[in-house]
Amino acid sequence: MSYQVLARKWRPRNFGALVGQEHVVRALRHALEHGRLHHAYLLTGTRGVGKTTLARILAKCLNCETGVTAEPCGKCSACEEIDGGRFVDLLEVDAATNTRVDEMRQLLDTAQYAPTRGRYKVYVIDEVHMLSNSAFNAMLKTLEEPPEHLKFILATTDPQKIPVTVLSRCLQFNLKQMPAASVAAHLARLLDAEAVPYEADALQQIGRAAAGSMRDALSLLDQAIAHGAGSVTAESARDMLGAVDESYLQRLLEAVAAADATRVLSIADEMLSRSLSFDAALQDLAGLLLRIATLQVIGASSASDEAPDAAVLPALARTLDAEFVQLCYQIALQGRQDLPLAPDEHAGFVMTMLRMLAFRPDSASTPATSAGEARKPVGSASPAPARSARDFGGDWPALVKSLTVGGAARELARNSALVAHADGMLELAVPASMGHLAEQNYRDKLRTALEQHLGRPIALKVSKGQATGTTVAEAEAGERETRRAEADRAVQGDQFVRDLVDMFDAKVVGSRARPGGDGN
Ligand SMILES: Nc1ncnc2c1ncn2[C@@H]1O[C@H](COP(=O)(O)OP(=O)(O)OP(=O)(O)O)[C@@H](O)[C@H]1O
Ligand SMILES: [Mg+2]
Ligand SMILES: [Zn+2]
C-alpha cells in the first residue's frame, strides 16, 4: 500500500475542515448564501496556509450539483471530480511555470466558451505575481469584461508584485499564518484519526517549528512518524528538529536566578557538546521568558500551561523579578540578532547569558554594600573575561576618551562622574541639570560601548544628582582654562606684544589669545 503524504490526504474539503481563516470563510459563506459573488478573488498569504485549498473549496461551492452553496455535498460527480483534480471546468495554472503571454492568451481564449460540465468555469492562477507584464495585460481585458460563467481565483505569496490595475479588480482576502497552538491541535486530531500514538509536547514542538505553515507542519509530522517508527515522541521530535530540550533553558534560567555563572557556562558547554542549535535556544528562551512573564501577570493559578514539566515555571515566575524577566527577554532577542556577528554561535550564546547575569538585580540575599565598594555583580564565580577583556582601573575620564560612541550617549559619558566600579559594574552620576541624558536609550548605547571597549558584559547604573568625582566635561573645561591662561601668559610675555601695549596703551584681550606656534 502506498503511503499518501499527510498534507495531501488531509487537505480540507469544505470550509468547516479549515483551521483558522475564519474571516475569509465568513465572507465567502455570506457571498455564496446571498448570491453576491464577485468574479475575481485574490487570496494572499504565506506558504501552506490554505490558498490552494480554499480555491478548490470555492470551486466546489460554485459547481456542486446541489446548487451554488456554502456546503458542497462532496458526493456529486462535480465535487468528486474537483477533489480528485479532474474536473474539466476547473483550471489550475501555476504562473511560476506559465509566465508567457501566449499561454495566458490561449487560456483566456478558452475562457470565452461556456463550461462543459459545471455552472462556472473556475480559473485558479497560483503564484500569480510571477506573470509577465504582457500576461497581466492580457488578463486585465478579461477581468474588465468577464463572461458571466467565469470566476477567477488568483493566489499569491507576494501581492506587492501584482499591478494595481489587476488588484483593483479583485476582491482580496489575506490569509493568516497558523498559530503554533492551532497547528498542534490540528495535528492531534489528525493523529487520533490515523491511530498514531503521540506525545503532546512533540506536536507543540512541530507546531512551533512550522512557523505558521500548516503544510510544513504536516510534512514535519510525516518525518516524525517515520523517524519515530510509527509513533511521535517528544524526544524523537526534538532529535529530528535539532530542537533544544526545554529543561536546558529552565536550568539556565535557574542558574541566572541564582547568579551562578559557572553553572550557566557548564550548561552552555553541555549544549555545545550535543550540537544543539543556539539560535533555536535563544528563540525558545525568549518563548520561555514570555511564558514566565505571563505567569507573573495573570498569576500561576489561572495559567493553562500544558507543558509536561511546567511546574518549574511558576517557581521561576516567583523567583525572578518581573522587570528582570522583561530585560532578559530583550537580551535574548538582541542576542539572537547578534548571533551571526559573534565569533561563533556558542560564544554569542554565552555572551548573551553573561549579559543576563550582569543585569541581575540585587536580590534580598545579596547584602547592600556601600557605594565605594559596590556589590559583586556576577559573584566571585564570575567567568574568565573574554579574550579582549581589559581592566578598568578607575580612570573614568581616560576610559571615556577611548570609547567609540557619539551623540547623546557620549554626552552622558562626558558629563557623568564615576561613583563606584567593580568587576563588570559601573555606577555613574549625572548632574540633575543634565538628567535628560540618563534616558534608557542613551544608557544602553553607552553600556554597549563600554562592553565593546572592556570586552565583557557591563551592568551600568546611572543616577541623577551631584557627584563628587570629576566629569570629563569639567576636566576638559579645566584644561581649556589652563591652556588659555598659558596662552595669555605667553602673549603677555612676548616682547613685541609688550612693546605694542606700551606704545598704544593697548590691552590684550585675553580670550582672543590662542596657544599655537605660528603666532597667527
Ligand atoms: N487552513 C488550513 N487548515 C487545514 N489544513 C491546511 C490549512 N492550510 C493548509 N493546510 C494543509 O496544508 C496543505 C497545503 O495547503 P495549501 O496548498 O492550501 O497551501 P497554500 O497556501 O496554497 O500554499 P502555497 O503558497 O505553498 O501554494 C493542505 O493540503 C492542507 O493539508
Ligand atoms: Mg498553493
Ligand atoms: Zn456536490
For residue range 385-398, what is the model confidence (pLDDT) as tens digits?
444 567 788 888 88
H or E segment and range at residue 155? strand 150-156
Pocket test for ligand 1, best of 52, 128, 222 (most atoms within 8 A of CB): 52
Report pTM: 0.59
For residue range 311-338, what is the model confidence (pLDDT) as tens digits?
788 889 988 999 999 999 999 999 999 9
Residue 516 has a pLDDT of 45
Rounded to 5 degrees, what are φ and ψ at 335? Answer: -60, -35
Residue 433 has a pLDDT of 82
Q: Which fold has domain 246-358?
A: Zinc Finger, Delta Prime; domain 3 (1.20.272)
- Ligand 2 centroid–CA 155 distance in Å is 7
Residue nearest to atom 7 of ligand 1 (CA): 50
40-44 and 171-174 beta bridge pairing: parallel
Residue nearest to atom 29 of ligand 1 (CA): 11
- Ligand 1 centroid–CA 290 distance in Å is 29
Pocket test for ligand 1, best of 5, 8, 10, 11 (most atoms within 8 A of CB): 11
493 versus 424: the higher-pLDDT residue is 424
CA torsion angle 182 184 187 189 (round to 10): -70
Most trustworthy range by pLDDT among 254-258, 400-404, 451-455: 254-258
For residues 154 and 41, the answer to whether their CB atoms sit within 8 Å is yes
Closest CA to 413 of 435, 389, 440, 443: 443
Residue 75 has a pLDDT of 95
For residue range 170-192, what is the model confidence (pLDDT) as tens digits?
999 999 999 999 999 999 999 99
- Ligand 1 centroid–CA 10 distance in Å is 9
For residue range 68-119, what is the model confidence (pLDDT) as tens digits?
999 999 999 999 999 999 999 999 988 877 777 777 888 888 888 888 888 9
- Selected from 3.40.640.10, 1.10.8.60, 3.40.1280.10, 3.40.1710.10, the CATH number assigned to the domain covering 180-241 reads 1.10.8.60
- Ligand 1 centroid–CA 213 distance in Å is 8
Q: Which fold has domain 6-174?
A: Rossmann fold (3.40.50)
CB contact set of 331 (below 8 Å; sequence gap of 6+): 352, 355, 356, 359
* Rounded Cα distance, 396 and 416, in Å: 9
CA torsion angle 102 107 109 111 (round to 10): -160
**Same fold for the pair 6-174 and 246-358:** no
Residue 453 clears pLDDT 50, i.e. is over it: yes
Residue nearest to atom 26 of ligand 1 (CA): 47
Average pLDDT, rounded, for the chain: 83
Band of residue 56 on the pLDDT scale cut at 50, 70, 90: very high
- Ligand 2 centroid–CA 135 distance in Å is 20
Name all residues whose Cβ lies below 6 A of ligand 1.
7-8, 10-12, 18-21, 45, 47-53, 157, 214-215, 218
Superfamily classification of domain 396-470: DNA polymerase III, tau subunit, domain V (3.30.300.150)
Residue 169 has a pLDDT of 92
User: Would you list the domain boundaries of the chain?
Assistant: 6-174, 180-241, 246-358, 396-470, 483-512
